[in-house]
Amino acid sequence: MNTVGTIFRVSLFGESHGPAVGVVIDGCPAGLPFWREELMADLSRRKGLLPGTTARRETDEPEIISGIINDRTTGAPLVLCTRNNDFRPGDYEQFTSIPRPGHADFTAGYKYKGFSDMRGGGHFSGRLTWGIVAAGYFARKILSPAIISATLVEAGGEKDTTAAIARAMETNDTVGGVVECVVKNVPKGIGEPSFMSVEAALGMIAFGIPAVNGVEFGAGFASSRSYGSMHNDPFIDARGKTSTNNAGGINGGITNGNDLIIRVSVKPAASTGVPQKTFDTARGEMADLEITGRHDACIARRIPVILESAVAIGLADLLMIDRGINGPRDR
Amino acid sequence: MNTVGTIFRVSLFGESHGPAVGVVIDGCPAGLPFWREELMADLSRRKGLLPGTTARRETDEPEIISGIINDRTTGAPLVLCTRNNDFRPGDYEQFTSIPRPGHADFTAGYKYKGFSDMRGGGHFSGRLTWGIVAAGYFARKILSPAIISATLVEAGGEKDTTAAIARAMETNDTVGGVVECVVKNVPKGIGEPSFMSVEAALGMIAFGIPAVNGVEFGAGFASSRSYGSMHNDPFIDARGKTSTNNAGGINGGITNGNDLIIRVSVKPAASTGVPQKTFDTARGEMADLEITGRHDACIARRIPVILESAVAIGLADLLMIDRGINGPRDR
Amino acid sequence: MNTVGTIFRVSLFGESHGPAVGVVIDGCPAGLPFWREELMADLSRRKGLLPGTTARRETDEPEIISGIINDRTTGAPLVLCTRNNDFRPGDYEQFTSIPRPGHADFTAGYKYKGFSDMRGGGHFSGRLTWGIVAAGYFARKILSPAIISATLVEAGGEKDTTAAIARAMETNDTVGGVVECVVKNVPKGIGEPSFMSVEAALGMIAFGIPAVNGVEFGAGFASSRSYGSMHNDPFIDARGKTSTNNAGGINGGITNGNDLIIRVSVKPAASTGVPQKTFDTARGEMADLEITGRHDACIARRIPVILESAVAIGLADLLMIDRGINGPRDR
Amino acid sequence: MNTVGTIFRVSLFGESHGPAVGVVIDGCPAGLPFWREELMADLSRRKGLLPGTTARRETDEPEIISGIINDRTTGAPLVLCTRNNDFRPGDYEQFTSIPRPGHADFTAGYKYKGFSDMRGGGHFSGRLTWGIVAAGYFARKILSPAIISATLVEAGGEKDTTAAIARAMETNDTVGGVVECVVKNVPKGIGEPSFMSVEAALGMIAFGIPAVNGVEFGAGFASSRSYGSMHNDPFIDARGKTSTNNAGGINGGITNGNDLIIRVSVKPAASTGVPQKTFDTARGEMADLEITGRHDACIARRIPVILESAVAIGLADLLMIDRGINGPRDR
């Protein structure tokens, strides 16, 4: 169930310490231009290398397996992957008797009966988001001239995200954050009824990003504290422009042409350096757990380009449902 | 795209002022008991008839079209619908030159080129949630002995929801709210990777409920203001019990057996009785708009049983992906 | 799993002796004209009332549940059904201890643990094809100006189908047949790779018609006896016209603009009036079985309009994958 | 649309002369054993190297990208591919002005607007069947103890297939054939209604094999020439055993436990060495076309292991729909 999309179908694969992670994109129109440097720029944003992100140094260089020739998509499935090189087996281990709090150790161990590859988080690793970013690259081309941009708007509850991250680093701890994504020039009239509304489609993909545990559109949870007379966005022209945008550019699950706004909550990374007490299943008693190795103080820092990509993937699919793989995409 | 689910597939149909609204449930196991009174109890909760809900009086009586014989499911697609009787054509109109703020009038008019049936909100009406509740009835049977219950925990930003709703009614306005759903005895180990994680699967369905514009699991957005050392839930026994439950019963997208917690933001109903200014597309200028007819002061009041049903539908599907239509469901 | 299609999604429901049988069509473009008489004409062809078809007299009158207003599709899910009236409970029975050869009695009893409604074949009845024909009506509109027509080209191995059917009737037996469907003015360039090729997509739907046990395209099985030099269809103009059409209008799974040709094998109806010997599971020994009631001597006679509809459904979906729900459909 | 399956989902990728061809298998249970030699044995059968198959010499060696550790599946998506090494660019060319009869040149050129990679047939190449065989390897493990075996039962209309192939080779021509697949110990009670019947599910996959243009089950087209009294298979015990097997082990789209029988028609390869006349789109007139390079005299020879794999994929998916990814598979 690693696939999302009806027409523009994106499938993630790979494990953190396996040979590679990557993505299959099926249903991509033929003829889209591919510039390696452009994709590398997106991938670099994901990698971070900012204060508060870890030191794992992968080149993240994309390898093209299929679907591109002469720097254009061919219409056949696109497969891109990147090799995993820089992992230190000592940092992580296979299942131990102490499942780490906040990680998939316990649940994956139970579900996959001990067969899953949990080194470095395995298939549950944030490294899988490489494929989301790679797919987002092509989705953006399909959505052009839409402009999609996301930023970390809050960390540890503060707008001054740097201060919050610094404080987490000082205590060897991790901190959560909020990332907001805005889409300008969004195609108007996309989004299908019920479970394929813009919110449902984008919500599903956004929740597919590890560590995302909340998603809201427009005013979102703030609107639960508001009144209809204040929340409604009055139209001010015949083309659907509104004076406010509490709806985040969506009415009835369909884009109205105003900026699309989505915000996600990113939980603090489970791999905190602060010592924890948790259950040792072998000894049958509580135990001390100290997580070593390199870890992000604020994984939310990496999320903007991933969220942009997730949004692009969802919107590209909705656009193609409306207008087809080979239909015109401007309207 | 009115269908959700991989195995347990739920499809909504109908329009507010058309002949009927209803639901198709495909992939439902054979032999589930059906008690009309039990289903009516769920449907009555949706209808509300509480202070702050409207006076539209439909019997909501279910008509069984297929899939049940001798009060048991047959394994063939279940189709249930309910007739629309009590609509007053005068209350609503087909498209006018003044698209109502916060409604689908503008976007549906654009997308469906004027052909959609917008009387009473048409296919975008909250009336479509009848089908979610009907499907939820069967989903709960599949999930038994799980217990799913939701409540309105906040309206207008207040825990005293009655006061907030009363205030909205006084001013002829509408107010938003927050609904929280908790699942006890949830099957352990369900949820698939990536885009079919518990969060992604339930998020998609929850966002398919009209007026829901935010979804969060466990601590949700509050976790974005938290630290890893505080947010992680320590395990306290070998079966996965945790001492806190910030993760809302989910690790790595898979249920860990602790209570599953999901909360949704419900925007204030767009049909406020407060006069609004918005654009008149015929006259090409701003106009006064007054919405008459009966409307809910707080649609969030109706959401608990709908959210319970949405959660049940999503979990039943994840359970059946794991264990099949005819496989054992206890583990 | 009663649904087929990616964009134009058709779901069948109902049981032979339940309240109704019908169809949901999701993803249908808004604005398609609906003329009841036109649909009735298609449905009448399915009913037959020809020599060799049974005397069950249903009006087959369609009831519209949703998705049509003012004789146009609204873009919301279309639901149409027809009531079951004329069944005589005495003719058929629920499961007995003697599963009928060639019927689903044994397999459905096993799979659905005795809960399926087997009266008149239940969900396995040919009556379910009503929904295929109803969906085909709208699919044809989408495909216009394509012309789809099918005929019974063989019965009992003879081109003179009437003679073969007469012979079957004389002996109170049933006989199989071959139905061929030709599509003229088929949209060029539709069909996706691999498992959504024209052959795969249409094959899946055609095999969804009860009693169809073989499907072939163009020369089909005859090509297995042929040579490449004879089988290849030379192009004779720049628009793809070929001088022969052994490929049945398909190259690489994509329509080439020549007539699309599909043929299906229809087995003789299992409900033969000839006495049979089969196993009695209660007595644990072989028993005599005589099937009474009204039955078709040649169900293949009813298949042409059903096959046309199945083909239309599949092609409409492929067209919409290529060009969208709201994209242009002529090219 | 290169994906098939509901739970056990198989996606093909690659182009004949691109870097690699391969397969993604999502929804595969964790813990299945993987023996490289065993898979290589299947892959070798596909390669053929028999009289009448071409001399392209690829090692076909599988590269594991993800989903296997310590020779066991992990439950995460399996990705396997094989590099393309032995292609001679001179043999084939990109689009020319003379689309080859029977190939996808014309249709792919039209559909993908000249962007598809047509070297060696590109994504339409029979080389893509490598991925079907690789996926079939795992599907068989899921179906164990079912035994699936296929043979070339006819070539050029003759049971003595060698003679027919020899004759085709003598004249530098190609010849078609029929491949029959039989499954013993098939799980009983699998197959879903309508469009996911055993016939529909397997038919879709079988038609996804390049060159397959006909599919039939049990007596298939022969049954169209038969009578109900002869075609019905009498039961002879309480477990569903029948004395004849004209139904090919399927009643009502559900397996009845008798041998499953499917037969496919394989057209003669389009790349015949016999000179052809076809249209030159640049010159606007008919032209002589001679296809050089290495080509199979009878591609049907390679089909048995591919058909076995296709059948295994389809049955594994149906089994998992019935009993889940992690449910019991014996019954």
Using the beta-carbon criterion (under 8 Å), do B19 and C65 form an inter-chain contact? yes
**From D78, which residue of chain A is nearest by alpha-carbon distance?**
A13
Nearest to A181 by CA among A305, A298, A299, A267: A305
The distance of B25 to chain D (nearest Cα, Å) reads 13
Rounded to 5 degrees, φ, ψ at D16 are -50, -40
Name the residue among C3, C233, C274 with its Cβ closest to that of D195.
Answer: C3
Q: What is the pLDDT of residue C331?
A: 43
Nearest to A12 by CA among B241, B197, B65: B197
Q: Could you tell me the pLDDT band of residue B113, with boundaries at 50, 70 and 90?
A: very high
Q: What is the pLDDT of residue C311?
A: 98
Residues of D in contact with C177 (CB under 8 A): 224
Q: What is the pLDDT of residue C327?
A: 77
Using the beta-carbon criterion (under 8 Å), do D26 and A3 form an inter-chain contact? yes
Q: Is D286 helix (H, G, I), strand (E, B) or coil?
A: strand
Q: What is the pLDDT of residue B52?
A: 57
Residues C23-43, mean pLDDT to the nearest whole number: 97
Using the beta-carbon criterion (under 8 Å), do D75 and A115 form an inter-chain contact? yes
> Quick check: B329 pLDDT over 70?
no
Q: What is the pLDDT of residue B331?
A: 43
Residues D288-313, mean pLDDT to the nearest whole number: 93
Nearest to A148 by CA among A262, A37, A38, A50: A262
Q: Is B76 helix (H, G, I), strand (E, B) or coil?
A: coil
Which residues 31-90 of D are in CB contact (within 8 Å) with C? Answer: none
Residues B166-182, mean pLDDT to the nearest whole number: 97
Rounded to 5 degrees, φ, ψ at D22 are -175, -165
Residues B115-142, mean pLDDT to the nearest whole number: 95
Using the beta-carbon criterion (under 8 Å), do C101 and D232 form an inter-chain contact? yes
Residues D297-319, mean pLDDT to the nearest whole number: 97
Is A297 in contact with A174 (CB distance < 8 Å)?
Answer: yes
Six-digit token string for B91: 């209350």
Residues of D in contact with B27 (CB under 8 A): 192
Which pTM value belongs to this model?
0.97
Nearest to A21 by CA among A2, A49, A45: A2
Q: What is the pLDDT of residue D331?
A: 43
Q: What is the pLDDT of residue B56?
A: 62
Using the beta-carbon criterion (under 8 Å), do D11 and A18 form an inter-chain contact? no
> Given a contact as 3+ CB pairs under 8 Å, which chains touch B?
A, C, D
Q: What is the pLDDT of residue C56?
A: 62
More confidently predicted of B290 and D57: B290
Is B234 in contact with A279 (CB distance < 8 Å)?
Answer: yes
B-interface mutation test, from A221, A265, A272, A309, most B Cβ less than 10 A away:
A221
Angle at C262 between CA C260 and CA C267, to 5 degrees: 170
Q: Considering the domain C3-323, what is its CATH architecture?
A: 4-Layer Sandwich (3.60)
Q: Report the alpha-carbon distance of residue B9 to residue B4 in Å, rounded.
A: 6
Whether chain C has a CB inside 8 Å of the CB on B120: the answer is: no
Q: What is the pLDDT of residue C55?
A: 55
Residues of C in contact with B113 (CB under 8 A): 30-31, 326
Name the residue among C174, C192, C266 with its Cβ closest to that of D227.
Answer: C174
Where helices occur in chain D by DSSP H, the ranges are: 36-47, 105-111, 129-143, 161-170, 198-206, 228-231, 303-323
> Quick check: C51 pLDDT over 90?
no
> Quick check: C48 pLDDT over 50?
yes
Q: Could you tell me the pLDDT band of residue C295, with boundaries at 50, 70 and 90?
A: confident
Residues D191-206, mean pLDDT to the nearest whole number: 98
Burial B262-297 (b: 16+ CB within 10 A, else e): bbbbbbbbbbbbbebebbbbeeeebeebebeeebbb
> Quick check: A94 pLDDT over 90?
no
Q: Is D13 helix (H, G, I), strand (E, B) or coil?
A: strand
> Quick check: A331 pLDDT over 50?
no
A-interface mutation test, from D4, D79, D93, most A Cβ less than 10 A away:
D79
The distance of B258 to chain C (nearest Cα, Å) reads 32
Q: How many CB pairs under 8 A join B and D?
A: 44
Q: Could you tell me the pLDDT band of residue A291, with boundaries at 50, 70 and 90?
A: confident
What does the DSSP 8-state code read for residue A300? Answer: G
Residue type, C81: C
Q: Report the alpha-carbon distance of residue A108 to residue A210 in Å, rounded.
A: 14
Nearest to D25 by CA among A21, B200, A11, A65: A11
Quick: pLDDT tens for B234-283.
999 999 999 999 999 999 999 999 999 999 999 999 999 999 999 999 99
- Give the CA count within 13 Å in the CB-facing half-sphere of D212: 34
Q: Report the alpha-carbon distance of residue B164 to residue A1 in Å, rounded.
A: 42
What sign has the CA pseudo-torsion C212, C218, C222, C227?
negative
Quick: pLDDT tens for B189-219.
999 999 999 999 999 999 999 999 999 999 9
Using the beta-carbon criterion (under 8 Å), do D254 and C215 form an inter-chain contact? no
Residues of C in contact with A325 (CB under 8 A): 321-323
Q: Which region among A216-220, A258-262, B263-267, C95-99 has the lowest average model confidence (pLDDT)?
A: C95-99
Is A245 in contact with A258 (CB distance < 8 Å)?
Answer: yes
> Quick check: C14 pLDDT over 50?
yes
Type and span of the H or E element at A108: helix A105-111
**From D211, which residue of chain C is nearest by alpha-carbon distance?**
C252
Using the beta-carbon criterion (under 8 Å), do A327 and C325 form an inter-chain contact? no
Residues of D in contact with C229 (CB under 8 A): 171, 173-174, 272, 274, 276
Torsion angle in degrees (nearest 10) through CA of A196, A198, A200, A205: 110
Return mean pLDDT, chain A: 93
More confidently predicted of B328 and C197: C197
CA C90 and chain centroid, separation:
28
Type and span of the H or E element at B141: helix B129-143
Nearest to B169 by CA among B290, B291, B272: B272
Residues D98-102, mean pLDDT to the nearest whole number: 95
Whether chain D has a CB inside 8 Å of the CB on C307: the answer is: no
Q: Report the alpha-carbon distance of residue B305 to residue B311 in Å, rounded.
A: 10
Quick: pLDDT tens for A157-169.
999 999 999 999 9
- Strands of C147-155's sheet, edge to edge? C147-155, C177-184, C260-266, C212-217, D212-217, D260-266, D177-184, D147-155
> Quick check: D302 pLDDT over 60?
yes
Q: Could you tell me the pLDDT band of residue A266, with boundaries at 50, 70 and 90?
A: very high
CA D20 and chain centroid, separation:
19
What's the Cα-to-Cα distance from C210 to each of A111, C99, D108, D193, D256, rounded to whole Å?
39, 18, 34, 10, 16
> Quick check: D146 pLDDT over 50?
yes
Residues D243-260, mean pLDDT to the nearest whole number: 98
Residues of C in contact with D123 (CB under 8 A): 193
Rounded to 5 degrees, φ, ψ at C25 are -120, 110
Q: Which region among A118-122, A258-262, D303-307 has the lowest average model confidence (pLDDT)?
A: A118-122
Using the beta-carbon criterion (under 8 Å), do B116 and C76 form an inter-chain contact? yes
Q: Which region among A83-92, A311-320, D291-300 has the lowest average model confidence (pLDDT)?
A: A83-92
**From A123, which residue of chain D is nearest by alpha-carbon distance?**
D76
Q: What is the pLDDT of residue D55?
A: 55
Return mean pLDDT, chain B: 93
Question: ipTM of the assembly?
Answer: 0.96
Q: What is the pLDDT of residue C292?
A: 82
Quick: pLDDT tens for C102-143.
999 999 999 999 999 989 899 999 999 999 999 999 999 999
Name the residue among C13, C65, C115 with its Cβ closest to that of B75.
Answer: C115
Using the beta-carbon criterion (under 8 Å), do B30 and C115 form an inter-chain contact? yes
Q: How many CB pairs under 8 A join A and C?
A: 44
Q: Report the alpha-carbon distance of residue D318 to residue D331 in Å, rounded.
A: 14
Using the beta-carbon criterion (under 8 Å), do D178 and C221 form an inter-chain contact? yes
Q: Could you tell me the pLDDT band of residue B48, with boundaries at 50, 70 and 90?
A: confident
Q: Which region among A44-48, A63-67, A202-206, C41-45 has the lowest average model confidence (pLDDT)?
A: A44-48
Q: Report the alpha-carbon distance of residue D35 to residue C217 in Å, rounded.
A: 38
CB neighbourhood size of C284 (10 A):
11
Quick: pLDDT tens for A9-65.
999 999 999 999 999 999 999 999 999 999 999 999 998 755 555 556 678 999 999
> Quick check: A73 pLDDT over 80?
yes
Q: Report the alpha-carbon distance of residue C155 to residue C162 in Å, rounded.
A: 8
Domain regions of chain A by residue span: 3-323
Return mean pLDDT, chain D: 93
Name the residue among B27, B77, B322 with its Cβ closest to that of D324.
Answer: B322
Rounded to 5 degrees, φ, ψ at B221 are -60, -30
> Quick check: D59 pLDDT over 50?
yes
Q: What is the pLDDT of residue D93?
A: 55
Residue carrying the six token digits 């003697």: C98
Is A318 in contact with A299 (CB distance < 8 Å)?
Answer: no
Residues C271-285, mean pLDDT to the nearest whole number: 94
Q: Report the alpha-carbon distance of residue C301 to residue C312 in Å, rounded.
A: 19
What's the Cα-to-Cα distance from B330 to each of B144, C176, D216, rounded to whole Å?
9, 46, 39
Using the beta-carbon criterion (under 8 Å), do D193 and B322 form an inter-chain contact? no
**From D251, which residue of chain C is nearest by alpha-carbon distance?**
C104
Residues of B in contact with C11 (CB under 8 A): 3, 11, 24, 26, 77
